[in-house]
Every structure is written in structure tokens, then in C-alpha cells.
Amino acid sequence: MDDLGNYLVASGAVIAGLVRYRTARPRPLTAAQRYVLVVLFGAGAGLVFAATAVQAVIGAVTAVPYLARFLASASVMVSAFSAVCMVASVVPEPAQARVRKGTRWMAAVMVVLILVMAVLLLGSDAAFNPDLAKVLATEDDVAAGQGVYWGFVAVCITWFVVLLRRYLLRPDVRPLMHYAMATATLASVVALLWLGWNVIILVGQRVGGQFRSDSLDMAHWLGIGAAGLMGVSLTLPLWIRALRRRVTRWRSRRAVRGLEPLWSELTDLLPDIALHPPDLDCAPEVVLYRQVIEIRDAELRLMRYVPPDLETVVRDAHARQVHRRNALHARRAPVETRIAAAAFATAMANFRAGRRQADAPAGSREPSTGLSDVLAEARWLIAVHRCMVDDPVVAQVVHSVQPYGKTHGEGASPGT
């Protein structure tokens, strides 16, 4: 069960690294992006090598009992150092030059410590034991190797948090990156808890203390949790953007279905407003944008068929219904929606009958605007169409004003 957690988080880290690489291409990778990939792949490798089953197999095949533990520790050290370099490459100047100089020294120290750890772990003649707590109590070289590993990772995590705070002071940090870096800070806190618990076990075992077999299980799960949170933080902007795209696409599909009745009526009435034949392969956002544009074009064409006093008539009818006992529809349909619905309905009826308004010059009325985006505009038009179909006030107004005007111009039928 413990190994399953390692494999799951390692798989997530590798998949996240592949996704990050694919989304960055074909442009050249920036320094920060390269470090992110090293962090993710290094953490994934470290988790796989830290699995008990993998350590046992590698130890049996190579006759080097702690080779897998050395590879796990070295991978995590490289991953932790790369996390520091990742943030160091984006901190604001003038701190960036100083921090980069420090990371060069830290890289040299890391190489030396990995060599020391290799001597201690690979040169140990201790037999492999999956219970690390017992090994730490009796084997000085393994305990020293683990101490080197934990000490370096602790320095990296501390420096990472300090640099992260400097990075968040940049004025151009987007809100989504703030959420990602907050998750990275949480991962760092969990990692420090993991290190603290490991140190407690190491010191306790060395001074003769006795720990239960599940004492290292807590440290194990803290380490997995820290790695998982770090992987989430480094890919959070990608997942959130992908989720937003999916939600927007789903909303666009719904809006396209909702707009279809109004769009079909208007394109049947004014076929030339259609920009081009419908393309079923188009993204729903493109189809929605095209439908809204075509509906607005039709609205501009039809405004000359709207009686000039229509708004006053609708407001009066709306006010009368509000004062009646049954005001359900008045609450359900705002007056502005009713005005737009009545304008559409009367204009379409007058266009079919050829009754253009003689005292309403073409283009004197403009369609309603001021909506935030295409989806908001589509929702507004869907509500307008529902009002055209269902609202009794709109039906009453349309019936009362249809005879208004006289036959003139475009849309006139021969018998008008």
C-alpha cells in the first residue's frame, strides 16, 4: 500500500512534466520551464526508487543493498535544488543576480554531498532491511548518508520559501500564479514536517529510543503528500486554464442550442445575414460568436420596422401588470427584456407584412449593448426569445401595435 502511493504520485509528476513540456513547445524552453521539468521528473524518479519493492529488486540484482536509496536521495536532492533555481530565475532584480551566484555555489555543494552520500550508502556492507528505522539505529554509514540528504533538502526548502516570497512581490504576478505559489508554500511546509519527523526518528534511534514500526509510515506519507502538492502547484495554471476552456466550451454549446430558435427565425427571415454556411467542425465558441453577430446584424436591419412609441407602450403594460394581483410574469421578465422581445417580435411581423415605420428613419434605433462578453450577450438574447414566445405582456403589445405604420420598402409583399 505504501508503494502504491509512491507509484501514483510519481506517475502524476511524470505526466505533469510531459504536459508542461508539450504546452511549452514548439517555443524554446525558458530557464524556469527547464527547472520545472527537472523538479517534476526528479521527484517522480525519487519516489519510484524510494519504493520498498524497487529497493529490494535493485539490491538483489546489483548486490548493492542501498543503491536504490542512493538514487532516490540523489534524485530528490536534484529536484529540490532545481525548485530553488526555478524561483531564482524569476525573482525581481537586483536580487536575481545575487541569488544566481548563490545557486552556483549551492550546485557545487550538492555535487560534493552526492559524492559523499554515494561513498556512505554504496560502500555500506549492511544487509538490506525495509525497516529504515532499525537500519538507522545500527548502521552509522546509512544514518550519515540519510543525514546528508535530509540536511541538504532542508536548506533547499527553506531557501525556496524565502525566494518564493520575493517572487510574489513582483507586480506582474497573476492571481492564478498566486494560488499556485500558495500551494507550493503548503507543499514546503509539509516537506519540512516530513524532514522534522525523520530527524526525530534518526536522533531517537541513535540515542537508543524505540519507535514502533509505523513511526516511519507517517514520515513516508508526509513525503508523498509534499511531492504531490508540489506537483499540483507547478501545474496548477495549466489545469485551471484547461478546466476554464472546458467550462467555456460547455457553456458555449448550451448557448448555441439556446440561440438556435431565434437564429433560425432570423436567418429564415433575412437569409443574407448568415456570414457563411454552418460548419459543424467549428469550435462552439466560434459558432456562438458568429450567431450573436448575425442576430445583431438582423436586429440592426429590423429596427426600422419597430414603432417609435413601442418602449412607452411596453413600460405602460408592464406597470399595469405589476399592479395586478398576479404579478408572477412581471417578476420573471424584467421590463428591459420585455422591451427587446417586443421590438424583435413587432419588427419581424412588420417586416413580413412590409409595414416599415415612416416616421422612424432607418438606423435611428440601435440594439441593446453593454454586456460583458459573448456568453452574457447570448444569455440575454435567449432570455429575449423566451419572452417573445411565452410572455403575455409581449404578446399583448405585439398584437396592439402590429397594425401601426404603412407599407414601405424592403420586405413588402405584393398584396400589401
Count CA within 13 A, CB hemisphere, residue 388. Answer: 20
Residues 387 and 352 grouped into a single domain: yes
Lowest mean pLDDT among 1-5, 55-59, 186-190, 253-257: 1-5
Residues 129 and 226 grouped into a single domain: yes
Residues 147 and 184 grouped into a single domain: yes
**Helical ranges in 303-334 per DSSP H:** 310-322, 328-332
The domain spanning residue 153 has which CATH number? Answer: 1.20.1070
Q: Are 48 and 267 in contact (CB under 8 A)?
A: no
Q: Are 3 and 51 in contact (CB under 8 A)?
A: yes
Q: Are 278 and 287 in contact (CB under 8 A)?
A: yes
Residues 245 and 291 grouped into a single domain: no
Residues 227 and 344 grouped into a single domain: no
- Mean pLDDT, residues 186-210 taken together: 80
* Tally of domains in the chain: 2
Range of the domain at 298: 270-407
pLDDT over 70 at 185, yes or no:
yes
Distance of CA 11 to the CA centre of its chain: 20
Residues 35 and 111 grouped into a single domain: yes
pLDDT over 80 at 93, yes or no:
no
pLDDT category of residue 235 using cuts at 50, 70 and 90: confident
pLDDT in tens, 259-299: 999 999 998 888 888 876 555 567 888 888 888 999 989 98
Residues 132 and 232 grouped into a single domain: yes
- Look at 35 and 416; give whichever has higher pLDDT: 35
C-alpha cell at 6: 509512491
pLDDT category of residue 404 using cuts at 50, 70 and 90: very low
Residues 34 and 181 grouped into a single domain: yes
pLDDT in tens, 159-179: 998 888 877 777 777 777 878
pLDDT category of residue 228 using cuts at 50, 70 and 90: confident
Residues 306 and 179 grouped into a single domain: no
φ and ψ at 362, to 5 degrees?
-55, 135
Task: Please report where in the chains the cell 405582456 appears, as a residue.
Answer: 393
26 prior amide bond cis, ω within 30 = yes
Sign of torsion over alpha carbons 182, 183, 186, 187? negative
- Mean pLDDT, residues 203-223 taken together: 69
pLDDT category of residue 58 using cuts at 50, 70 and 90: very high
Count Cβ atoms within 10 A of the Cβ of residue 345 and give its class: 0-12 exposed, 13-18 middle, 19 or more buried.
Answer: buried
Rg of the chain on CA atoms, in Å: 34
Residue 161 lies in a domain: yes
Q: Are 167 and 173 in contact (CB under 8 A)?
A: yes
pLDDT score for 213: 53
Residues 224 and 184 grouped into a single domain: yes
